[in-house]
Amino acid sequence: MYRTTALITAGALVAAPLATLLAASPASADTSKRGACGQGSYELQIDREDADDGGGFEVSADLDRVAPGSSWTVVIRHDGKRAIRATRVADGEGDLEVDVRRPDTSGRDTFRFKAVPTSGGSTCAATITVS
């Protein structure tokens, strides 16, 4: 009985700080949003960078399984201001990616993504707000 109680207590003492550590670190966790984009899909991902890496955010917009060789205009906005506007061509697998680093502004940061095929067709869009 005493041995079981001691093991449970010891386990709780080890688990509690670990749970606190895991709960205290959502700032370094990734935030993403996925959805359909015509015949393919998109993912908008926001990664909070450590202060050692300059802080701020790495923003990534990916299109997957769109038509290989198709041309897309991708716009990423940060708090309403255009961070990047780029035209990319999907590779042989129908994938393309646009990345940009952004500073952490005061208060909440809102990122908007929009991808439009240059030949016309389905538009993809997403918004993520982080605090």
Q: Which CATH superfamily is domain 26-130 in?
A: Immunoglobulins (2.60.40.10)
pTM above 0.85, yes or no: no
For residue 76, the model assigns a pLDDT of 97
pLDDT digits (tens, 9 = 90+) for 40-52: 999 999 998 877 7
pLDDT digits (tens, 9 = 90+) for 53-106: 778 999 999 999 999 999 999 999 999 999 999 999 999 999 999 999 999 888
Is residue 38 over pLDDT 50?
Answer: yes
Domain coordinates of the chain in residue numbers? 26-130
Evaluate whether 10 touches 16 at the Cβ level (below 8 Å): no
Is residue 22 over pLDDT 70?
Answer: no
